[in-house]
A and B are shown apart, each in its own frame.
Chain A
Amino acid sequence: MELTPRQQSDRAAFRAFVEREIAPYADDFDRRECVPTELIRKVAREGYMGLSLPAEHGGAGRDFVTLGLLHEEVGRGCSSVRSLLTVHGMVAQAVLRWGGPELRGRWLPALARGEVVAAYALSEPNAGSDAAAVESRAERDGECYVLNGRKRWISFGQVADLFLVFARCEGGPAALLVERGAPGLETEPIRGMLGTRASMLAEVRMKDCRVPRANLIGREGFGLTHVLPTTLDFGRYSVAWGCVGIARACLEACVRYASERKQFGARLLDHQLVRRMITEMIVNTRAARLLCQQAGRSKDAGEPSTLVETLIAKYFASTAASRIARDAVQIHGANGCGGEYPVQRYLRDAAVMEIIEGSTEVLQSTIAECEAPNIIHAEEAATA
Chain B
Amino acid sequence: MDETKDKIRAYLLRFFRNADLQDDTDIFAAGFVNSLMAMQLVMFVEKEFGIAVEDEDLDVENFKSVDAIAALVQRQGALRA
Q: Which residues of A contact B (CB under 8 A)?
A: 98-100, 217-219, 221-222, 225-226, 229-230, 233, 301-304, 306-308, 366, 369-370, 373-374, 376-377
Q: Does B55 contact A (CB under 8 A)?
A: yes
Q: Does B36 contact A (CB under 8 A)?
A: yes
Q: Which of B28-66 contact A (CB under 8 A)?
A: 34-36, 38-44, 46-47, 54-56, 58-60
Q: Are B36 and A366 in contact (CB under 8 A)?
A: yes
From known contacts A308-B36, A369-B35, A370-B34, infer whether A376 and B55 are also in contact, taking CB-CB under 8 Å.
no
Q: Are A307 and B42 in contact (CB under 8 A)?
A: no
A-B contacts, 23 of them at CB < 8 A, read A99-B55, A100-B54, A100-B55, A219-B55, A219-B58, A225-B39, A226-B42, A301-B47, A303-B43, A304-B41, A304-B43, A306-B43, A307-B36, A307-B39, A366-B35, A366-B36, A369-B35, A370-B34, A370-B35, A373-B14, A373-B17, A374-B14, A376-B14
Q: Are A370 and B47 in contact (CB under 8 A)?
A: no
A321 CA to B38 CA, complexed, in Å: 31
Q: Is the interface of B mostly helix, strand, loop or mixed?
A: helix
Residues of chain A with a CB closer than 8 A to B54's CB: 100
Residues of chain A with a CB closer than 8 A to B34's CB: 369-370
From known contacts A219-B58, A303-B43, A304-B44, infer whether A229 and B17 are also in contact, taking CB-CB under 8 Å.
no
A301 CA to B43 CA, complexed, in Å: 11
Residues of chain B with a CB closer than 8 A to A230's CB: 39
Q: Are A229 and B46 in contact (CB under 8 A)?
A: no
Q: Are B43 and A307 in contact (CB under 8 A)?
A: yes
A218 CA to B39 CA, complexed, in Å: 13
Residues of chain B with a CB closer than 8 A to A369's CB: 34-35
Q: Are A218 and B36 in contact (CB under 8 A)?
A: no
From known contacts A222-B58, A373-B15, A374-B14, infer whether A229 and B39 are also in contact, taking CB-CB under 8 Å.
yes
Q: Which residues of B contact A (CB under 8 A)?
A: 14-15, 17, 34-36, 38-44, 46-47, 54-56, 58-60
Q: Are A303 and B47 in contact (CB under 8 A)?
A: yes
Q: Is the interface of A mostly helix, strand, loop or mixed?
A: helix
Residues of chain B with a CB closer than 8 A to A233's CB: 39
A100 CA to B14 CA, complexed, in Å: 31
A217 CA to B54 CA, complexed, in Å: 11
Residues of chain B with a CB closer than 8 A to A306's CB: 43
From known contacts A308-B36, A366-B36, A374-B14, infer whether A219 and B59 are also in contact, taking CB-CB under 8 Å.
yes
Q: Which of B36, B46, B55 has the most CB of A within 10 A?
A: B55
Residues of chain A with a CB closer than 8 A to B41's CB: 304
Across the interface, A302 reaches (CB within 8 A) one of B36, B39, B43, B55, namely B43
| In the complex, residue of chain A having the shortest beta-carbon distance to the beta carbon of B33 | A225
A304 CA to B49 CA, complexed, in Å: 13
Q: How near does chain B come to A218, taking the closest CB pair, in angstroms?
A: 5
A374 CA to B55 CA, complexed, in Å: 28
| In the complex, residue of chain A having the shortest beta-carbon distance to the beta carbon of B60 | A221
Residues of chain B with a CB closer than 8 A to A301's CB: 47
Q: Which of A100, A225, A233, A307 has the most CB of B within 10 A?
A: A225
Q: Are A376 and B43 in contact (CB under 8 A)?
A: no
Residues of chain B with a CB closer than 8 A to A221's CB: 60
Residues of chain B with a CB closer than 8 A to A222's CB: 58
Q: Are B58 and A98 in contact (CB under 8 A)?
A: yes
| In the complex, residue of chain A having the shortest beta-carbon distance to the beta carbon of B45 | A304
Q: How near does chain B come to A97, taking the closest CB pair, in angstroms?
A: 8
Residues of chain A with a CB closer than 8 A to B35's CB: 229, 366, 369-370
Given contacts A370-B34, A377-B14, 5 further A-B pairs with CB under 8 A are A100-B54, A218-B58, A219-B55, A219-B59, A221-B60
Q: How near does chain A come to B6, taking the closest CB pair, in angstroms?
A: 15
| In the complex, residue of chain A having the shortest beta-carbon distance to the beta carbon of B44 | A304
Q: Are A98 and B43 in contact (CB under 8 A)?
A: no
Q: Which of B15, B39, B41 has the most CB of A within 10 A?
A: B39
Across the interface, B55 reaches (CB within 8 A) one of A98, A304, A308, namely A98
A233 CA to B39 CA, complexed, in Å: 10
A373 CA to B44 CA, complexed, in Å: 15
Residues of chain A with a CB closer than 8 A to B60's CB: 221
Q: How near does chain A come to B3, taking the closest CB pair, in angstroms?
A: 19
Residues of chain B with a CB closer than 8 A to A229's CB: 35-36, 38-39
Q: Which of B43, B54, B56, B59 has the most CB of A within 10 A?
A: B43
Q: How near does chain A come to B18, taking the closest CB pair, in angstroms?
A: 11
